[in-house]
Structure formats: structure tokens, C-alpha cells
Chains A and B, each alone.
Chain A
């Protein structure tokens, strides 16, 4: 790990990674998705909530490339506006779990002892529940909705980050630099946050990328089940659920948002794979 930092191969490694088509496609997809999420108004041809009773459930055409929904709203515009919510999911459903997990994982990995023992049992208990079951059980108590969904996913998800971080910190503790830090009399805080954490965080970041893809899948699943984003908000899972009952007559209502999910999920996992290659130490 530490050698890799000093080898001159560092800049060319990025160039090498960019030679992989998967990574480039991932960057392009996520880059474009971020643009759509930030500026949906520029890309969407219509107001996503503009109701037009004269153009209800129209199949895809030049004026409405993705057709229109039950209230005559333009499906393409709704799918585009949904980028805002679904891309936000990728971040908000994971980032708090990431931060909590990294801090807890680093602390129990460094201090071990009784806290680590308890932590081990907590991990065992949490992974004993199917992820979705525990998340929807928490949503059931808090009530459906986006914010509660984020809380539920964070309450469950931090454990996975902490477990990974803990293992990585323990592995890093075996290195000379950690021992050197202790011998030099650095404070625990300095050793943990200045030295161990930056070295241990790489696998966590790689996992974060895949977790963002999972968050979009999970978030849209909860939206579909009626536990996440609530209509009339444009969210892919909600849009698919809205089209569900008309799937044989108006297939485009459910098909199009699904393509957006698959594309974004694919983008994140390609990006994650590429980053993993980029960050993984050689040798």
C-alpha cells in the first residue's frame, strides 16, 4: 500500500483506468445523470406536473418521446425530474451510514476491547435480518416517506461500513507506521484520524460506490412498494408503480423509468469497478 504512493506509476494509472471502456462509460453515465439531477428544468421538455386531460395515456411520439401518463403528464419530463430524487437517494441513503460507520469502525478497530466485543455481536444481530425486512420494519414504525426511508437505511446500513472499516483498521495497525506513531507518542486521535483512517478508507470508498447503486435500487423498490417517496413526487419506483395497473395497455409508463434505474445502477457499478481498479494497490 505504502509503496504504491511513491511509485511514479501514479499518474499513468489514471490514464490506464481511462483506457477501460467500462470505466469511461460509467463516468459518462453518472456525469450525465448528475447534470439531469442538477438541472432537470433545462432538459425536461415539459412541466412534469402539468396535467393535460386531452392527452391522456398517449403512446410515445415525437411530441412526447416517452408518452404521457394517466393525467396527461409528459412521462419523459417526469422521468427526468425524478433524477433529482433518485440521485439524491444515492447520496443521502449512504453518506450518513458511511460517516457513522467509518468513525465507529475506526474506533472499535483501534481500541478493540469490550466495545469491539459488543460491536461484533451487534453486527451479527443486524446481518441476521434480511436488509430489506429490517429497513421496512423501521419505516413501518416511522411512517412511509423519503426522510424516514433515509433514517431507516442509515440505521441499518452503517453496520456494513463499520464492519469493513474495522477490519481495514486492524489490518493497517499491523503496519510499521502505526507502531511508529504509537512509539512517537502521538495522541490516539492523531493516529486514528490522520494516519490510520486515510490508509484504511480505500475499500470503504469502493464499497460506497456499489452501495450508491444499491441505494437507488433499494430506494426505488421502497417507492414502488409505497414506503419511500410518495406520489405525486416524480421518483422512478413511484412512476413504475403508477403505471403498473396499465402495463398491458400503456407499457411505456412503467418501462421507461425502469430503464433509467438500470442505466444509473449500471453507471454506478461500472464507476465502482473502475475506481476499485484505480485504487487497488498493485503487486
Chain B
């Protein structure tokens, strides 16, 4: 199958998935007891507000019509009005989205920087003390909740030693790298534990594979064996794992944004929840879903590039 057909098929598969995603988000607010319009508008809403929401949701119409309204509004980019911010949900999200994306990419980069070299050290020293130490440390890392890692780093590195700012984010690229270092490393410490584990066994598996043994036997220098065979294969499994754990990563950024007061989508989500700003909650949930499925798509495409076996039949 050519890669164009593959991409097309893969995109086609997203349609039913997104249809269901929309149903889930639609039902979420319908689970609210009582009149969703009153619940959505909040305590301080005027009658006009409530009426506006009622009209937008088409609450007097049958369920199917309501869903159609919701669907067509969303597709047109109309996610409704945020009750908290008093502006269009889409604008609020567009404002916060880059911060969360930046934070996520930064976290991925940091986790690769941490996990990559250590996984190789552990794999090449399999069964000896460096392996044991690295694995134990990461095992403990896996048992730490993200908010706790964040809080500990915040206390010691930011509040006590004053090496980093305690919150917010900068204006320039350099400033952002500096401001978001602690929030990112917080997530990275957790995800690097997952990556390290997988990468270590991937490297071991490849090292034991016959083609690598053969490459060694025919006298290829081990640097070349590591670089050409081991690294390439380990890379495929790592990218796949990273792609699949993007949901976890996003969950992590949500928490870290809260701990470090980073004004991204995760923190906004919590603010929206405590303000019962349901249009905003819906919009954010959808945005998170779009981000994740975009990453899934990229992962699949990347995989099919590197490993033709992965292409769909």
C-alpha cells in the first residue's frame, strides 16, 4: 500500500472516533441534574444569560436535534461562551493552548534526555550495579505522584535555593525555557521512568537479536552496531511508547500547571471546574482530545515510515 493511501485510510478512521468523542462530550453536560442551562450559567447568571444558553443548546428541541446543533456549532469553531471569562471559549483556549503545547514538548525533550543515556547505561551493564541503581531510582520515580514531585522541586529549588522562579512563564523563548524548566522536569521525571524501562528492555532485546550478533560477528565496531542497529530499533519503540503515553503526559502537564501556576490549559480546566464553567470544560476536553489524536496520528505515520510492517493491511 502506498503511504498516501495509508494516510488517507488512517484519517478516515478518525471520523467515527471523533463522532464518539463528540457524543461523550455532549452527554457529559447532559448528565447534569436539572436544567443544564441553569447549571451551566452558574449562580450569578441573569435570566438573559440562561435564555441565551438555552437557545444555543436548543434545549427545547429533542436530543438528536440538540446533538446536531452541538456538532455543527463545534465544527464551525463555535464552542460557546465561557461563563468565567465572559468571552468565546475558542478564544480563551487559543490563548492558553501554546503554553501547554510548549510545556508538553519541553517535557518530552527532557524525558528523552534523562531516559535515553541512562537506558543505554543500564542495558549495557545489565545485571550489574549501575543497572540496579538506575532501575531502583526510576522505580521509586514511578511511584511518586506528579504533584508531589512538583511540590518538592518547588520547595527546594525555587523557594529555598531560589534557583528558579516559583511560577508563571516568560515572554521570550529563553525566558520560557527557564520559567518552565521545573514544571517540565516534574513531568519528565515521571515519563522518563516509563521510557527508561521500555528503552532498556528494547536495547537488551536488540542486543540479543541474531542480526546484531551477526553484525558483531562479522567484526563491525560496536559503536557502529549500537548506532545503526540498536539505536534505530530502540527509537521506533520509544516513539511508539511516547505517542501512546501522550495522554499520561497531558494528565501530568495538567497537574504540573496547577502546582507551578502555569497559565496553560490544564490550570484553566481546573478553574473551569471550580467555576462550573461547562462550556469551557467541554471546549477544553475536546481540545485535549484533538491534541492526543493528532499525536496518535503522527506516531502512526512515523511508525509506518520507519517500519513498513506496521502499515495497516
Binding site for B on A (CB under 8 A): 121-122, 124-134, 136-142, 213, 217, 220-221, 224-227, 237, 240, 244, 247-248, 251, 254-255, 258, 261-266, 269-270
With a CB–CB cut-off of 8 A, which chain A residues contact B24? Answer: 125-126, 129, 134
Q: Is the interface of B mostly helix, strand, loop or mixed?
A: helix
Q: Which of B291-305 contact A (CB under 8 A)?
A: 292-293, 296
With a CB–CB cut-off of 8 A, which chain A residues contact B18? Answer: 125, 128
With a CB–CB cut-off of 8 A, which chain A residues contact B296? Answer: 128
Q: How far is the CA of A134 from the CA of B73 in the complex (A)?
A: 22
Q: Does residue B20 face the partner (Cβ distance < 8 Å to A)?
A: yes
Among the 9-residue stretches B62-70, B82-90, B147-155, B205-213, the one with 4 or more Cβ atoms under 8 Å from chain A is B147-155
CB of A265 within 8 A of CB of B143, answer yes
CB of B17 within 8 A of CB of A137, answer no
Those 10 A-B pairs whose CB atoms lie nearest each other, nearest first: A265-B143, A132-B251, A125-B20, A130-B250, A140-B273, A130-B247, A266-B143, A124-B17, A258-B148, A217-B145
Binding site for A on B (CB under 8 A): 13, 16-18, 20-21, 23-24, 28-29, 31-32, 139-140, 142-148, 151-152, 154-155, 159-160, 246-251, 254-255, 258, 269-270, 272-274, 276, 278, 281, 284-285, 288-289, 292-293, 296
Report if A129-B292 is in contact (Cβ < 8 Å); known contacts: A122-B20, A137-B285, A227-B273: yes
CB of A221 within 8 A of CB of B145, answer yes
CB of A266 within 8 A of CB of B140, answer yes
* B255 interface neighbour in A138, A225, A262, Cβ under 8 Å: A225
CB of A128 within 8 A of CB of B139, answer no
* A266 interface neighbour in B139, B147, B154, B247, Cβ under 8 Å: B139
B229 to chain A, nearest CB (A): 27
* A269 interface neighbour in B139, B270, B278, Cβ under 8 Å: B139
| 12 A–B pairs (Cβ distance < 8 Å), ordered by A | A124-B17, A128-B289, A129-B292, A130-B248, A132-B250, A136-B254, A137-B273, A258-B144, A261-B144, A265-B143, A265-B144, A266-B139
A124 to chain B, nearest CB (A): 4
CB of A128 within 8 A of CB of B155, answer no
With a CB–CB cut-off of 8 A, which chain B residues contact A139? Answer: 273
* B148 interface neighbour in A124, A134, A227, A262, Cβ under 8 Å: A262
With a CB–CB cut-off of 8 A, which chain B residues contact A255? Answer: 152
CB of A133 within 8 A of CB of B258, answer no
Q: How far is the CA of A269 from the CA of B281 in the complex (A)?
A: 33
Q: Of all chain B residues, which has the CB nearest A141?
A: B31
CB of A240 within 8 A of CB of B143, answer no
CB of B281 within 8 A of CB of A140, answer yes
Report if A240-B147 is in contact (Cβ < 8 Å); known contacts: A125-B20, A129-B285, A136-B273: yes
Residue of B28, B142, B159, B250 contacting most chain A CB atoms (<10 Å): B142
* B17 interface neighbour in A128, A132, A141, Cβ under 8 Å: A128
Q: How far is the CA of A28 from the CA of B293 in the complex (A)?
A: 41
CB of A129 within 8 A of CB of B289, answer yes
CB of A133 within 8 A of CB of B270, answer no
A32 to chain B, nearest CB (A): 16
Q: How far is the CA of A270 from the CA of B140 in the complex (A)?
A: 10
CB of B251 within 8 A of CB of A133, answer yes
Q: How far is the CA of A129 from the CA of B258 in the complex (A)?
A: 19
With a CB–CB cut-off of 8 A, which chain A residues contact B32? Answer: 141
With a CB–CB cut-off of 8 A, which chain B residues contact A227? Answer: 273
With a CB–CB cut-off of 8 A, which chain A residues contact B146? Answer: 221
Q: How far is the CA of A244 from the CA of B258 in the complex (A)?
A: 12
B255 to chain A, nearest CB (A): 6
With a CB–CB cut-off of 8 A, which chain B residues contact A130? Answer: 246-251, 254, 288, 292
